Amino acid sequence: MTTIRLLTEFDWDTAQNTSGTGDNVDLDLASVTLKEVFYQPLTVTVGRQELRYGNAFVIGDPDTNATSADGDVATDFTARDLSLRKSFDAIKAVFDYDPLVIDVFTAKISETNTTKTDVNLYGVNAAYDVGIYDSEVEAYWFISEDDTAGARVAGTRAGRWINTIGARGSLTPVDNLNLLGEIAIQNGDYSNDVIGVTDRDQKAMAYQVAGKYAFPDVTIPYINTTIMNPMVKVGYTHYSGEEAGNAGDHEAWIPLYEDQTHGVVANTVLSGVNGGQNSNADILNVGGSISPIQDLTVSLDLYKFWLDEKLVAANCNLASDPMNNGSGTALEWTNLTETNYYMYADDDLGFEVDLALNYDYTEDVKMGLSAGYFSPGDAFAGANGAQENAETAVQVLATLDVAF
């Protein structure tokens, strides 16, 4: 079997952009799948393909879902966090020993055609269908080999070798109640063998627990209205962070190739290593959904964000250098590009409210409207009133999906 998929992503009024790549149509998927190779349980897929395991806590998007490597803000499309590109150049072998399925793969994240400057990903994932309470368990080991970081001197190895080992499980202990949990640890070489750079080991951890419950339809008396498909959910996610000024083991969780969204606005403004959304974060999510009329679903999500480690050791008060804290240590915040973000020694990062309406016009046509509102917390307060960053961020998004 062969799979081909074409993809083009661009802002309106840029399809004829001859100075950039806004009018490109890219080959997003291009793979060959061989079933029963050598013996019956083995299936091999070679080429550009999607790799997604569990809830995409670690593996799901080659450049994380907060951005897109093919998205140039100046010439292509602005909302890179909305990219549909999820493909890896990979070779994957699947051993199906029902109820046990084992995936083994290798992927080329970056090919530079230069010795020892590539980014490679290796992994093994074992999933087992327990068979009772609709439960399943997974265990995995992913290795990220990044040789692009740091200066290179003959006879040395620059870059990172990160092991991510984890386990995931889910079950339905009673009707309509689903529970899940996942935990992973990272170790390995964060940086090593680079002249002028202190060797640091990676030691980080992340976990996630969540549950949702679907209620039976509810009829409201007197007005003869039925609320269909009511559902509530709660989830908690933790990513370890890097303490300000730490020069020992690197303790910030590296998102690698995650594909999760904790708030549509926060996913953009707080992403990256140690930024507070998929690294150095504690995130509480409470939400639910209902269908007030046939084919219409209304959902509401509330998110609260805390830093695992404060971004600054002291309150920022250097007006001449707003990206430094009081001790002169550079603030490592690579995602927020504005130049005047004074940070406060606090772990309250803010909260977000997301509201979404999805309408199934037909079986093949679906329409959606969503809005996200993010309010910054005390970590953005600055050292005095003149330095406060109290501006909120809002996103409104309309979608139209057609399947054929």
Q: Are strands 42-50 and 87-97 parallel, antiparallel or unpaired?
A: antiparallel
pLDDT tens profile 196-237? 567 788 999 999 999 999 998 887 777 677 788 899 999 999
Q: Mean pLDDT across the stretch 130-134?
A: 91
Cβ atoms of 133 and 171 within 8 Å: the answer is yes
pLDDT tens profile 250-277? 899 999 999 999 999 999 888 878 878 8
Cβ atoms of 237 and 283 within 8 Å: the answer is yes
User: Which domains does the chain carry?
Assistant: 2-402 (2.40.160.100)
> How confident is the model at residue 257, as a pLDDT?
94
Q: What is the 3-state secondary structure (H, E, C) of 72-91?
A: CCCCCCCCHHHCCCCEEEEE
Compute the distance between CA of residue 182 and CA of residue 33 in angstroms, rounded to an integer: 30
Tokens encoding 147? 């040789």
> How confident is the model at residue 70, as a pLDDT?
63
Q: Which residues contact 389 (CB under 8 A, 6 or more apart)?
A: 341, 342, 376, 380, 381, 382
- The mean-pLDDT minimum among 68-77, 148-157, 295-304, 317-326 falls in 317-326
Cβ atoms of 329 and 244 within 8 Å: the answer is yes
E strand spans, 221-332? 225-239, 281-293, 296-307
pLDDT tens profile 87-104? 999 999 999 999 999 999
Q: Are strands 26-35 and 2-7 parallel, antiparallel or unpaired?
A: antiparallel
Cβ atoms of 291 and 277 within 8 Å: the answer is no
pLDDT at 26 over 80: yes
Which candidate, 95, 104, 97, 90, places its Cα nearest to that of 42? 95
Q: What is the largest CA-CA distance in the chain?
A: 81
Q: Is 288 helix (H, G, I), strand (E, B) or coil?
A: strand
> How confident is the model at residue 331, as a pLDDT?
43
